Amino acid sequence: MTKKLFLIFVLGLLLLSQIVAQEQKVSVKTDDAAAFKVQNAQLNNVITKNNGKLEENFLLSFLIPNSLESVLPQTRVMLTAYNEKGGIFGQHIWTSASSGMINKLSADNLQIIYGVNPKLQGASSYSLSMGSADRLNLGDIDCPACAALANDTCGRTKVGSVSCGADGSCSFTCR
C-alpha cells in the first residue's frame, strides 16, 4: 500500500511540475489523531523543477478512511515539531483539513497532502493532531492570533518566525 501511495503522490506532482529528487524525511506520530484513524503519516522533502527553477517542497501526507471525508471542513490539523530535548520547535496549523490536496486512493482511503513551512525541517520528531477547534484548544486563527499563539507556545522572547498562509494556515518556529 505504501508504494502505491507514493506512486500516486509522485504522479500528482508530475502533473504540476518535474520532480528532480525526493527524500523521505521522517514518520509522524499520530496518537493525537487516533479518532481519525490516520495511517502512514510522513513528511517528505520533494525538489521539483517548475518553469526552469528548482523548488523545494516540504510535504505532510497521510491516509484517512473515506468515511471521514464529510467532517474534513470542520476539522483542524496541527503538526508539532519537537527539538532534541522534547520542547516545541514549531507548529503548522491548518484551520480546515480540507485545505490540503485530497486524493481518493480507493473505496476505503483518502490521501491528504499539505505543504509545510520548510523552517520546521530538521526537528527531532513530529506529531500530528486532528480535531475541532475546541478539542485542540484553538480559537479563530487569523494572523494576529497566530502571532499570539506563537508567543504563548514559545515564550515572548523565543519566537523565531511566524507565517500566515492565504489558506488560513498558521505556522511558527521557536528559538
For the chain, what is the mean pLDDT? 85
Instruction: Please tell me the predicted confidence (pLDDT) of residue 137.
Output: 67
pLDDT tens digits for range 71-94: 999 899 999 999 999 999 999 999
pLDDT tens digits for range 92-120: 999 888 889 999 988 899 999 999 999 99
Instruction: Please tell me the predicted confidence (pLDDT) of residue 50.
Output: 79
75 versus 20: the higher-pLDDT residue is 75
Name the pairing type of β-strands 170-174 and 53-65: unpaired
User: Would you place residue 47 in the very low, low, confident or very high pLDDT band (cuts 50, 70, 90)?
Assistant: confident
Dig out the grid coordinates for 131 from the structure. 480535531
User: Would you place residue 48 in the very low, low, confident or very high pLDDT band (cuts 50, 70, 90)?
Assistant: confident
Residue ranges per structural domain of the chain: 2-174
Name the pairing type of β-strands 125-131 and 109-115: unpaired
Q: Which helix (H) or strand (E) holds 63?
A: strand 53-65
Residue 7, pLDDT above cutoff 50: no
Residue 62 — φ and ψ, nearest 5°?
-160, 170
Q: pTM for this one?
A: 0.82
Q: In whole angstroms, how far apart are CA 33 and each of 1, 29, 36, 114, 123?
A: 20, 9, 6, 16, 20
Residue 23, pLDDT above cutoff 80: no
Return contacts of 24-29, CB within 8 angstroms, 24+ apart.
Answer: 25/58, 25/121, 26/125, 26/126, 28/60, 28/62, 28/79, 28/126, 28/127, 28/128, 29/125, 29/126, 29/127, 29/128
Name the pairing type of β-strands 125-131 and 29-32: parallel
Instruction: Please tell me the predicted confidence (pLDDT) of residue 54.
Output: 85
103 beta partners: 111
